Structure 1
Amino acid sequence: MFSEIKYTKDHANLSVDDPRKNDYYTILLCDSGSANIKIGFHEFELKPHGIAILSPNTIFSISRISSDLNVKQIFFTKPFLQKIFIKEDIVEELLLLNSNYPPFYELHNRFDIVLNRFLSLERELNTQYAYHLDIARLMVIEILYEYNRACEYCLLGFEKNMNRNYQLTYEFKKLVDERFSSWNTIGFYASHFGISAKHLTEVVKAETGHTALQIIHERLLLESQYLLKHTTLSIKECAHILGFESASYFSRFFKSHTSASPIAFRKENP
């Protein structure tokens, strides 16, 4: 672990199908290859010449990592940036990610510029000359500005996709992320939107390729895997947190989706 900032150019923190939460920010800069990332209710493809930020205390998982993936990563905590002579509200604004969209944007012709900033940061942290942490803070701020610039640029062309079906699907996925442990049937969500369960299922299926129930179950499964791997809660306690009536019902649900019981999964993923 690190104290306030760390840089790496390997695949650290990108283990496949391992739901986790971090207590720090992660900036990803992809040079080549690809990986699929789920974070919160968003899912996106990390691909070349793109930049992404994973927020702390938000569950995420990685899958479909290509063999040629080359990604540089910066890990840092908010207190690290707060030690710089910049107004705190500016730092807060830079770290405030737009929750309406996946936290990934293409850098286009700015990629080489951002890449050089990553490499400069790496040199500062490796050489550790005088004031290297102060300079590193400034470099991270610069990179965050580049991320926010890419965000603004990409979102200019995003509104064209904001049709009614897209909006409904987005609101549904957002609500699933908030209520998955208590609203476990499509009827709850359909009633919230004032539409039929059939219509909600048809819209979500057309927009995502998955049924509404699959999305609910995927979110439940993701949280289940996180609790089993990263906590010492009993199976009964996990079942209660996730809204299952009993440990046996939770075990049947988990095994039907993973072919392993919760106990077996925990043993295989210490």
Structure 2
Amino acid sequence: MFLWNTPLAKTIKQFEYFDYTVNEALFVSEKEEVTVTGIIKNIEQEYRSNIGKFSQNIIIAQLELLLTYSVRFYQRQFITRKISNHKILHRLEAILANCFNSDTLAKKGLPTVQYIASALNVSPNYLSSLLKVLTGQSTQQHIHNKLIEKAKEKLSTTNLTVSEIAYELGFEHSQSFSKLFKSKTNLSPLQFRDSFN
């Protein structure tokens, strides 16, 4: 109710980190913590004093300032926490390799973003944000890239039909597989296979 009909009420949804889990909390330095604590104290002081009609505007302005600093700290943490972030990336690659090198795709289907995030013990939104910073691609794009890599391998080294390959890679319908393959490679699966003959 406090933010109702304010510009902040409309823009607050853009802050992706509100969907993160507790273990993905914003990591701040001591200096950054002082900044955040100072803003929170200003909000608390204004709320308690409530000196008139401008109190709500002042509190909202302080909240906007707090959120703006949070975005800065949020972006910075992906840069300063490179080692732990790259460990997550390597674990992601291992999970995808395991998924695509097993025979379970036909039974279980393609791994989902939720499945991958859960295996990494992070939220889907955090994982996609992290991957976009590290690689410029979302989790879904990583899954598709691994899929296309495996499809190319099967198309170039086996005599399986496109339908059989699609099924082995977790697709119920070969048309869906062909459409995805073409969107990623600009070639149909058969055109790709023919390029090796």
> Please, what TM-score do these two structures have when normalized by structure 2?
0.51
- 2:88 corresponds, among 150, 165, 168, to 168
Q: Is 1:190–2:127 an aligned residue pair? A: no
Report the structure, 1 or 2, having the larger helix content. 2
Residue equivalent to 1:226: 153
Cα shift readout 1:31-53 (whole Å, capped 9, x = no counterpart): xxxxxxxxxxxxxxxxxxxxxxx
Distance in 1, Cα, partners of 2:112 & 2:175: 19
The structure whose residues are more often strand, as a share, is 1
Structure 1: which 5+ runs fail to align?
A: 1-160
Q: How far apart are 1:192 and its partner, in Å?
A: 1.9
SS of corresponding position for 1:163: helix
Considering Cα pairs closer than 8 Å and 6+ residues apart, tell me whether 1 or 2 has the greater RCO.
2
Distance in 2 (CA, whole Å) between partners of 1:184 and 1:253 is 15
Query: Percent identity at matched positions?
Result: 30
Q: Matched residue pairs, number?
A: 111
Partner in structure 2 of residue 179 of structure 1: 99
Larger Rg: 2
Q: What is the deviation of 1:266?
A: 1.4
Q: 1:258 matched to which residue of 2?
A: 185
Q: Distance in 1 between matches of 2:172 and 2:93?
A: 23
Which AA in structure 2 matches 1:193?
A: L
How far the C-alpha of 1:162 sits from its partner, in A, is 6.8
- Aligned equivalents of 1:183, 1:240: Cα separation in 2: 10
Partners of 1:185 and 1:172 in 2: CA distance: 12
> Over aligned residues, Cα RMSD in angstroms?
2.1
Measure, in 2, the Cα distance between the counterparts of 1:183 and 1:248: 15
Contact 1:183 1:189 survives alignment (8 Å)? no
Q: CA deviation at 1:175?
A: 0.4
TM-score (norm 1): 0.38
Contact 1:190 1:196 in 2 (8 A): yes
Q: How far apart, in 2, do the equivalents of 1:233 and 1:262 lie? A: 11
